[in-house]
Amino acid sequence: MRRSALAYLRDIVDACDSVVATLSGVDVEAYLANRTIRSAVEREFTIIGEAVNAISRQNPELAGQISNARKIVGFRNQLVHDYIAIRDEVVWAIAQHDAPVLREECRALIDDLERAD
């Protein structure tokens, strides 16, 4: 059974929430020193990238409302296929600055879709 775009948007929000919760009280030095935390954050970003990719295939118009959708999918691909090139400082910055913005965008899209039903 095919999942809905709404379900994928919820996955993105949940993954962003997990990133924020995982990094709560963690500074960049602690992040860089802790492989378990880095792995947890990277896992959530792979989920986000997969979900954005699924939305892009299912509903390109909706995906167009997600800022940097193509970059998000590209980041997921780099995490999975070119992990050696990943810079932990970049992942940290994305987690700190971009994940909260993405969460709010997706939460707004969820609200719009639920109102439309």
DSSP for 17-59 reads HHHHHHHTT--HHHHHH-HHHHHHHHHHHHHHHHHHHHHHHH-
Query: Which residue ranges in the chain fall short of pLDDT 70?
Result: none
pLDDT at 117: 72
pLDDT at 2: 83
Query: Which residues are within 8 A (CB) of 2 and not within 5 positions of it... i.e. 6 or more apart?
Result: 58
Give buried/exposed letters for 99-115 (b at 16+ CB in 10 A, else e). beebbebbbebbeeeee
